[in-house]
Chain A
Amino acid sequence: MATSDRVGLSLWTMQSTAARPGLWRALYRRLGEDAQLAERLGFHAVWLGEHRVWYDGWCPAPLQALAHVAGKTSTIHLGTAMFLVPQHDPVAAARSIATLDHLSGSRVELGTGLGYRDAEFDALGLRRDRRGRLMDAGLDMMEAVWRGDHGDPPPVRRPAPRIWMGGMADRAIARAAGRGYGLMLPQTLSVEEYRRIAGDYRGRAARPGPVGALREVWVSDDPATCARHRERVGLHLTEEAGSWWALKGRFGFEARDQVDRQVARGVGQIAAGSAEQVAAALREVLDAGVDYLALRPVFEFVEQAELHEQLHRIADEVVPLLESAGLQ
């Protein structure tokens, strides 16, 4: 497994926030440009998120956005982190994924997630409390479509595009292990948690797939710049958590102290610093049993020139240090 198979980039969301408003059509153009640079620099994949019905216009249809990337690039993989299976018609989703698989030369990395916002489920007439069942039924149906049970031709990649289960809950690990999917862990975990969950997953899977982790990174030799980045990520996460999370019966901003604690915990996991410091932090994650890193320098408040500099520094300075440390 070469580095180009083990290091991807995340997380494009095409958000136009109050903190950094953007023109959506320009954000989608930028996505294509960012992916072209990522491909030239040898990264494995670009990973896109999914949410819906929110003021910032978070991309609700990542397969269509990845089709744009597919048309603008030729080798980089096209990932979802995560495609919210319970919020999609599974037959249509399987067919769209097969279409992307076919059009892109089998570059799809399908990260799957449950989704958690009530408003998203309700907009689509779905019960959130059934999301687990919808997930299982949806995955079964998608696999059936790819198997040909509904008369479809097989995907180019047999038997199906590579699937990753997103999440860290016991049920997510059980699903990934039972179905032979990879596991994609969130960015908020400590090294010890990565080690425990990766071990648990490998112990339960007959044929374990790769264990991946989203990881926020920022490369700069200037401590003040790193501190500023942490602060901006913190504000970004505060808005998201304050608006969306349900915490012990209270909701987001109504439980500000809890939000602040969660955000501080997330910000504490950012690998920010010099190339050496970032590489050392990532190496700990890899040593804990993680096979794949979906590094996240991408936020809506990061300007494109700044992002492209980050991609260069990650590719030119951080990745070589991971390689010299034994990452093959």
Chain B
Amino acid sequence: MRFLLEHPAPRGLDDLVRSAQAAHAAGLDGVLVTEWRQLPGALVTAAAVAARVDEVLVAAEVELGARHPVEIAEEATVADLSSGGRLVLVARPAGSAPERYAESLDVIRHALAARPFRFEGRHWRVPANLPENVDQPEERVRVTPAPAQPRLEIWGAGEGRAVALERALGHLADAADDPAALARAFAAADASPASIGAPRGRRERWRSAADLLERLRQGRARFGQDWACVAAPAEAAPEIGSLVRPRIQLHRLTPGLEEFWDEQRPWERSRR
């Protein structure tokens, strides 16, 4: 199980940097940034956070469907390159254009591959070959440069679950999603070898370490959850990193180990 920390309500870059530093210090894999009201440009925010905090992954959640997917792919590429290959692109269907989600995702996947492509869908046509653009017509377009990562991680989110799973992409479920529905969706994906190892995450609300641990155990048992994106303040990071994370890594722990941890309480030590 891997962990992302999601700041519940950042006021600015410093809040996000503190959150990312807390994640780093607690051994969590990274942070998730999204389109907040004051900071609506998630891929701008992601690049700035990555510039301030080394080594953590930065997942950026963007709406997909309304904007041209080539533009989003370019922004993700530059955020990935400037962060040294630490971007995860989380794509949620735009409320205004859910029917464009699947095609948008496919255009982005073409665009992030280091080769020329042509895409002719119902909603997007790339290159468009508009009759007015006659100076240098191209059959195919190569989005440049390529991202730092050999395969930039793209996860679906929200209502995009079926589309993401069809494509063997990762998926970040919402905290409120029905666990039975998740179990059914991921069980179907289990039948496909292409889906082996595709990330299965869920957003989690922070109430207490015990509550989170219980949810993650259930998530793993019911649908194979292997990523947790926890909306929690930076102060919760030591408990997530020292109390929750070690207990959810393996199928089972040596008897007595949890009790030993409970005596030592390292999450309190690391907080001091």
A and B: interacting chains = yes
A→B interface (CB under 8 Å): 14, 16, 24-25, 27-29, 31-32, 52-65, 67-72, 87-89, 92, 95-100, 102-104, 117-119, 121-130, 152-153, 246, 251
Query: In the complex the two chains form, what is the Cα distance from A152 to B145 in whole Å?
Result: 32
Decide: B52 and A64 in contact? CB cutoff 8 A: no
Contacts of B43 in A (CB 8 A): 61, 64, 96
Decide: A71 and B47 in contact? CB cutoff 8 A: yes
Decide: A52 and B144 in contact? CB cutoff 8 A: yes
Q: Is B174 an interface residue (CB 8 A)?
A: no
Query: In the complex the two chains form, what is the Cα distance from A315 to B125 in whole Å?
Result: 49
Contacts A122-B133, A128-B132: A24 and B44 contacting too (C-beta < 8 A)?
Answer: no
Contacts A67-B48, A118-B137, A119-B138: A52 and B40 contacting too (C-beta < 8 A)?
Answer: no
Shortest Cβ gap from A29 to chain B (Å): 7
Query: In the complex the two chains form, what is the Cα distance from A98 to B50 in whole Å?
Result: 19
Q: Is B124 an interface residue (CB 8 A)?
A: yes
Within 8 A of A (CB), among B1-25: 12-13
Shortest Cβ gap from B130 to chain A (Å): 5
Sampled A-B contacts (9; CB under 8 Å): A24-B145, A53-B142, A60-B144, A61-B78, A92-B41, A119-B133, A119-B141, A122-B133, A126-B130
Decide: A67 and B137 in contact? CB cutoff 8 A: no
Contacts of A153 in B (CB 8 A): 37-38
Contacts A117-B136, A125-B125, A251-B136: A53 and B144 contacting too (C-beta < 8 A)?
Answer: yes
Chain B 223-237 near chain A by CB (<8 Å), digits 1 or 0: 000000000000000
Contacts of B128 in A (CB 8 A): 122-126
Interface of B is mostly: loop
Contacts A53-B144, A60-B144, A129-B132: A68 and B51 contacting too (C-beta < 8 A)?
Answer: yes
Among candidates B44, B68, B70, B138, residue contacting A64 with C-beta atoms closer than 8 Å: B44
Decide: B78 and A64 in contact? CB cutoff 8 A: yes
Shortest Cβ gap from B64 to chain A (Å): 12
Decide: A125 and B130 in contact? CB cutoff 8 A: yes
Within 8 A of A (CB), among B30-44: 35, 37-41, 43-44
Shortest Cβ gap from A134 to chain B (Å): 12
Q: Is B162 an interface residue (CB 8 A)?
A: no
Question: What 5 A-B pairs come out closest when comparing CB atoms?
Answer: A71-B51, A57-B145, A96-B41, A99-B41, A125-B128
Query: In the complex the two chains form, what is the Cα distance from A68 to B74 in whole Å?
Result: 15
Q: Is B45 an interface residue (CB 8 A)?
A: yes
Decide: B135 and A65 in contact? CB cutoff 8 A: no
Contacts A52-B74, A61-B78, A67-B47: A118 and B134 contacting too (C-beta < 8 A)?
Answer: yes
Contacts of B138 in A (CB 8 A): 119, 122-123
Shortest Cβ gap from A237 to chain B (Å): 19
Decide: B144 and A56 in contact? CB cutoff 8 A: yes
Contacts A99-B39, A125-B124, A125-B130: A68 and B50 contacting too (C-beta < 8 A)?
Answer: yes
Q: Is B84 an interface residue (CB 8 A)?
A: yes
Q: Is B89 an interface residue (CB 8 A)?
A: no
Contacts of B39 in A (CB 8 A): 99, 102-103
Among candidates B44, B84, B141, residue contacting A99 with C-beta atoms closer than 8 Å: B44
Contacts of B144 in A (CB 8 A): 52-58, 60
Question: Which B-chain residue is minimally distant from A97 (CB atoms)?
Answer: B41
Query: In the complex the two chains form, what is the Cα distance from A124 to B127 in whole Å?
Result: 7
Q: Is B126 an interface residue (CB 8 A)?
A: yes
Q: Is B82 an interface residue (CB 8 A)?
A: yes
Decide: B84 and A123 in contact? CB cutoff 8 A: no
Contacts of B35 in A (CB 8 A): 95
Query: In the complex the two chains form, what is the Cα distance from A122 to B40 in whole Å?
Result: 27
Q: Is B151 an interface residue (CB 8 A)?
A: no
Shortest Cβ gap from B118 to chain A (Å): 11
Contacts of A251 in B (CB 8 A): 135-136
Decide: A128 and B82 in contact? CB cutoff 8 A: no
Among candidates B38, B48, B125, B137, residue contacting A70 with C-beta atoms closer than 8 Å: B48
Within 8 A of A (CB), among B150-189: none
Query: In the complex the two chains form, what is the Cα distance from A130 to B187 in whole Å?
Result: 49
Question: Which B-chain residue is minimally distant from A88 (CB atoms)?
Answer: B71
Among candidates B12, B67, B126, B148, residue contacting A25 with C-beta atoms closer than 8 Å: B148
Decide: B84 and A29 in contact? CB cutoff 8 A: yes
Decide: A60 and B77 in contact? CB cutoff 8 A: yes
Contacts of B137 in A (CB 8 A): 118, 122
Question: Which A-chain residue is minimally distant from B129 (CB atoms)?
Answer: A122
Decide: B133 and A53 in contact? CB cutoff 8 A: no
Among candidates A61, A99, A125, residue contacting B68 with C-beta atoms closer than 8 Å: A125
Contacts A89-B68, A122-B129: A102 and B78 contacting too (C-beta < 8 A)?
Answer: no
Question: Which A-chain residue is minimally distant from B87 (CB atoms)?
Answer: A64
